[in-house]
């Protein structure tokens, strides 16, 4: 249901403006109309409230404080959102802070920031640097570990320098060239030790008198050899010393990082709640200061205009009367049909249908004053899903998985999704009974039951049987006809609600077309008296005239799309058959293999694949049949979401 809304004006003397804002913010039910955007009715004589320079300064100080608090929260509280929901202490502090006036709150915030800012920031900086260092050491460690066995062999000599290189195995000859060249440069006062470090590369250590540092490095550079350079801080270290220090650091640094984390955690435990409560209270204060510009004012009064759910008008009047002893009044403004279109939309549905609002959330909200399609979606989406999937075994799997996810998660959207899938799985079980399917096997036989006949309908009907398939096709189309007919009736109700005469004529035209087609087909199949066919043909002409009159050229085009929509319901049968055939194929695997374990294993894989594919396609197509075929008959989108002016808690 779309919640009925009332337009209200809150009028009072200017001295109560700040307190009124605080009160409506606390009550959290008013969707404010910005007077600068919609200067209508009584607001014409009122101008937007002017903000004085002092308020501007306070706003800017609050913004700065919020930025600093947000920074501090992210430094010490990485799981801020989760803690916020679960810590009652935050709420207690928030309630204390929100009662204070902006200046007082700012003073508290700035004091806390000063107290908290320095140490955690320093710790966080140190942690960042240590993490960087650790990453560098770990990278170097891999390379240096490769050359370490060579370095171990070298005896450190006074006045000698060491350079390590890595050469691709394909170019192993280059080491000989280097050996010759360095021998020439140093007069054979050198040593090159080389060794394979992995399957692709060879490492070499060159030891030479340090007076030849320049020419040796030039040579290596000109030969394009990769030298292993140590980080800057190890410039004066030998490889052996550098490796030793790095290895020590790789052990030491994580300990220090852990220590910092501990200290940050202590800070978050001590200040976390306070920081979050302060930030939120300040955010709310900022909103209260900023919203003023949306209101109107005269010389002595203020006017706040907005929409409130009708059932909340009385509590709003009562609360403001109690607070201001009648000095601030709430007036309910009568609205025209045009103004009603501007009303914000909020949906209210019973628990069983509520999760399905999420599907509607993927699209635009329904227009105010029209029908909320959520309950229909909550009925037809699981119904189509069940008819398409229809297998007791598959239904049990889906229902179990959905229940598991639903109970495990704390996320509302995931919970709602799990409910929808679970409900659909349940419907798949129901239709599984009717189709006599259990993982593609006959279910009823397994549990010792026998089919029975109900009003001429054999239950269960095996939809995979060729002779039943036509009945299944007719069933799918019949279901589609019923669904579309309901859509048309809802379209007629919407047109009446909106007093849209042409729309109404078009919708009635379609309804007549539908009935006429039914009469003609019924008479042709000799299920209805032949005379009805004549009535049917006459009705078709009348219906077409009505459609073209009501909907114009687009209406005429809609006739063809209507036929398309009707046949679109064939997908229920097509997808259902595809699914059951795959399930039967999965079972036939188990029979074909000599090794029964292998056969069952493969059958289970195919069944799993079928469940995943079938669940996905059943979901998409059930949504599609609702959104595209059904909604097209009545749904009017374009509703503005209801955004009440409310505090964070």
Partner 1 sequence: MAAPETVQPMADAIKNISSALAIGLTGIGTAIAQSKIGAAAVGGIVEKPEAFGLIVVIMALPELIVILGFAVAFLLKA
Residues of this chain that interact with partner 1 (CB under 8 A) are 359, 361-363, 466, 469-470, 473, 564, 567-568, 570-571, 574, 620-621, 623-624, 627-628
φ, ψ of residue 427 to 5 degrees: the values are -65, -35
In angstroms, what is the minimal distance from the CB of 420 to partner 1? Answer: 14
Q: How many CB atoms lie within 10 A of CB 82?
A: 11
**Look-up of token digits 């947000």:** 70
Q: How many CB atoms lie within 10 A of CB 251?
A: 9
In angstroms, what is the minimal distance from the CB of 623 to partner 1? Answer: 7
In angstroms, what is the minimal distance from the CB of 462 to partner 1? Answer: 16
* Closer residue to partner 1 in complex, CB, 114/570: 570
In contact, 252 and 245? CB cutoff 8 Å: no
In angstroms, what is the minimal distance from the CB of 364 to partner 1? Answer: 9
* Closer residue to partner 1 in complex, CB, 331/470: 470
What gap in Å lies between CA 475 and CA 370, rounded to an integer?
A: 31
* Closer residue to partner 1 in complex, CB, 571/614: 571
Length of the chain counted residue by residue: 649
φ, ψ of residue 195 to 5 degrees: the values are -160, 150
Dihedral of the alpha carbons of 297, 301, 303, 309, in degrees to the nearest 10? 160
In angstroms, what is the minimal distance from the CB of 564 to partner 1? Answer: 6
Quick one: which of 608, 603, 586, 615 has its CA closest to 390? 615
In contact, 5 and 307? CB cutoff 8 Å: yes
In angstroms, what is the minimal distance from the CB of 606 to partner 1? Answer: 22
* Closer residue to partner 1 in complex, CB, 396/468: 468
What gap in Å lies between CA 323 and CA 160, rounded to an integer?
A: 89
In angstroms, what is the minimal distance from the CB of 521 to partner 1? Answer: 15
**Look-up of token digits 């490796």:** 243
* Closer residue to partner 1 in complex, CB, 181/632: 632
What gap in Å lies between CA 534 and CA 468, rounded to an integer?
A: 32
In angstroms, what is the minimal distance from the CB of 341 to partner 1? Answer: 22
What gap in Å lies between CA 61 and CA 72, rounded to an integer?
A: 17
Q: What is the largest CA-CA distance in the chain?
A: 119
In angstroms, what is the minimal distance from the CB of 391 to partner 1? Answer: 21
Tell how far CA 175 is from the center of its chain: 58
* Closer residue to partner 1 in complex, CB, 538/620: 620
Quick one: which of 398, 444, 393, 387 has its CA closest to 420? 398
* Closer residue to partner 1 in complex, CB, 13/361: 361
In angstroms, what is the minimal distance from the CB of 578 to partner 1? Answer: 9
Q: How many CB atoms lie within 10 A of CB 205?
A: 22
* Closer residue to partner 1 in complex, CB, 370/568: 568
In angstroms, what is the minimal distance from the CB of 382 to partner 1? Answer: 18
Q: How many CB atoms lie within 10 A of CB 280?
A: 22
* Closer residue to partner 1 in complex, CB, 36/465: 465
**391's tokens:** 């297998």
* Closer residue to partner 1 in complex, CB, 45/363: 363
Which residues, 6 or more positions from 10, have their beta carbon under 8 angstroms from its beta carbon? 20, 24, 30, 303, 304, 305, 306, 320, 328, 329, 330, 331
In contact, 443 and 432? CB cutoff 8 Å: yes
* Closer residue to partner 1 in complex, CB, 340/624: 624
In contact, 398 and 639? CB cutoff 8 Å: no
């Amino acid at each position: 249901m779309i919640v009925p809304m009332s337009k209200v004006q809150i009028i009072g003397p200017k001295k109560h403006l700040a307190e009124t804002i605080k009160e409506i913010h606390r009550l959290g039910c008013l969707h404010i109309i910005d007077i600068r955007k919609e200067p209508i009715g009584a607001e014409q004589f009122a101008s937007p409230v002017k903000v004085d320079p002092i308020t501007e300064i306070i706003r800017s100080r609050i913004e700065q404080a919020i930025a600093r608090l947000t920074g501090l929260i992210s430094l010490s509280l990485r799981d801020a959102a989760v803690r916020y929901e679960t810590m009652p202490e935050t709420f207690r502090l928030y309630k204390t802070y929100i009662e204070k006036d902006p200046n007082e709150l700012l003073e508290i915030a700035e004091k806390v920031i000063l107290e908290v800012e320095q140490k955690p920031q320093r710790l966080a900086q140190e942690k960042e640097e240590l993490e960087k260092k650790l990453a560098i050491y770990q990278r170097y460690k891999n390379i240096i570990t490769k050359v370490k066995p060579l370095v171990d062999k070298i005896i450190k000599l006074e006045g000698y320098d060491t350079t390590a290189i890595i050469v691709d195995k394909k170019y192993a000859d280059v080491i000989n060239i280097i050996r010759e060249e360095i021998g020439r440069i140093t007069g054979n006062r050198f040593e090159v030790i080389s060794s394979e470090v992995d399957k692709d590369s060879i490492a070499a250590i060159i030891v030479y008198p340090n007076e030849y540092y320049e020419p040796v490095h030039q040579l290596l550079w000109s030969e394009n050899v990769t030298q292993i350079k140590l980080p800057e801080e190890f410039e004066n270290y030998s490889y052996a010393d550098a490796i030793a220090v790095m290895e020590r650091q790789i052990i030491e640094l994580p300990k220090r990082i852990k220590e910092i984390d501990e200290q940050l955690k202590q800070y978050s435990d001590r200040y976390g709640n306070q920081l979050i409560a302060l930030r939120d209270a300040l955010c709310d204060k900022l909103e209260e200061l900023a919203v003023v510009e949306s209101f109107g004012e005269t010389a002595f009064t203020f006017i706040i205009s907005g929409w409130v759910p009708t059932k909340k008008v009385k509590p709003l009047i009562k609360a403001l009367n109690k607070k201001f002893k009648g000095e601030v009044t709430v007036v309910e403004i009568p609205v025209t049909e045009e103004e009603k279109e501007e009303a914000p939309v909020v949906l209210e549905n019973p628990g069983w249908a509520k999760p399905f609002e999420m599907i509607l959330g993927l699209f635009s909200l329904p227009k105010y004053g029209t029908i909320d399609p959520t309950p229909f979606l909550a009925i037809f989406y699981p119904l189509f899903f069940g008819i398409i999937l229809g297998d007791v075994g598959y239904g049990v799997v889906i229902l179990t998985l959905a229940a598991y996810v639903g109970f495990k998660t704390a996320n509302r959207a995931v919970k709602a999704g799990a409910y929808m899938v679970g409900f659909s799985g349940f419907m798949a079980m129901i239709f599984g009974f009717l189709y006599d399917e259990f993982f593609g096997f006959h279910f009823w036989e397994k549990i010792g039951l026998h089919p029975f006949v109900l009003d001429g309908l054999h239950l269960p009907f095996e939809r995979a049987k060729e002779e039943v398939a036509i009945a299944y096709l007719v069933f799918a189309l019949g279901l589609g006809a019923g669904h579309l007919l309901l859509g048309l009736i809802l379209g007629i109700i919407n047109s009446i609600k909106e007093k849209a005469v042409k729309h109404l004529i078009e919708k009635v035209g379609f309804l007549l077309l539908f009935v006429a087609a039914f009469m003609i087909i019924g008479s042709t199949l000799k299920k209805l008296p032949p005379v009805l066919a004549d009535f049917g043909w006459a009705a078709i002409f009348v219906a077409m005239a009505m459609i073209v009159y009501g909907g114009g050229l687009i209406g005429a085009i809609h006739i063809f799309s209507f036929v398309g929509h009707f046949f679109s319901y064939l997908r229920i049968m097509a997808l259902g058959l595809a699914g059951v055939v795959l399930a039967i194929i999965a079972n036939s695997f188990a029979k074909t293999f000599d090794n029964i374990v292998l056969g069952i294993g493969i059958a289970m894989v195919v069944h799993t694949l079928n469940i995943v594919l079938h669940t996905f396609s059943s979901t998409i197509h059930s949504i599609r049949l609702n959104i595209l075929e059904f909604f097209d008959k009545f749904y009017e989108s374009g509703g503005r979401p209801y955004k009440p002016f409310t505090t964070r808690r």
